[in-house]
Amino acid sequence: MNLKLIVIGALAFAIVLQLSAERNQPSIAFGMTTVSLGMTVQQVQERLSGEARSIKFLPDKVTALVYANRDPDETEGQITFSDGRVVYAQFQMRNVGNADELAQEIAGAVDNMETKNCDLSNYSAHGTGGGFSQTIFDCGSRRFNIMSVQSLGISDRTINVNIEVGQIATK
């Protein structure tokens, strides 16, 4: 009888530790659920399925694209695993069409940061093929990344805003 209580107590303690560690891990929101660094593939799949989302692995078997089940052709981001656990997650906001939308996306990204003090990096390149600019805000364990691409001869720019946690391993 005492052994049963010890085992049950140990299991309850392990579950509380896992939930506490998961809550303290940097995470990314997909809809109303979050994906945290350190989660297993199964945990990610269960969480996302509750939000009508799914993942599909690329041929490398470590990178998965996140899809909204309502539109199987549109990705919402990516999750990278190492040894079956999340090491990087990225949420890609919808493409923005004007400065007002971009300002709203940036404000939303900053509001979700645990720290409002960010390091800022700017990159740009312009050549015969068009132009590219990128601004990266490093804010503690999260980053958000704004990319603007303009092809030569086309007046419209494509602007993407991504929120990221973790690191993609380099070989």
Q: What is the residue whose two structure tokens read 């993942």?
A: 55
* pLDDT tier for residue 14 given thresholds of 50, 70 and 90: very low
pLDDT in tens, 30-43: 888 889 999 999 99
pTM comes to 0.70
| pLDDT of 124 above 80 | yes
Residue type present at position 54:
S
Cα 35 to Cα 58: distance, rounded to the nearest angstrom = 18
> For position 62, what pLDDT does the model report?
93
Structure tokens at 105: 């996306």
Our separate counts of H helices and E strands in the chain read 3, 10
Give the domain ranges of the chain.
26-90, 93-165
At 63 the three-state DSSP class reads strand
Average pLDDT over residues 40-62: 92
Cα 27 to Cα 152: distance, rounded to the nearest angstrom = 37
Average pLDDT over residues 5-18: 39
Cα 112 to Cα 88: distance, rounded to the nearest angstrom = 17
| Residue 129 CB coordination number (10 Å) | 12
pLDDT in tens, 41-50: 999 999 998 8
Lowest mean pLDDT among 62-66, 68-72, 75-79: 68-72
| pLDDT of 23 above 90 | no
Average pLDDT over residues 89-116: 72
Lowest mean pLDDT among 39-43, 47-51, 70-74, 79-83: 70-74
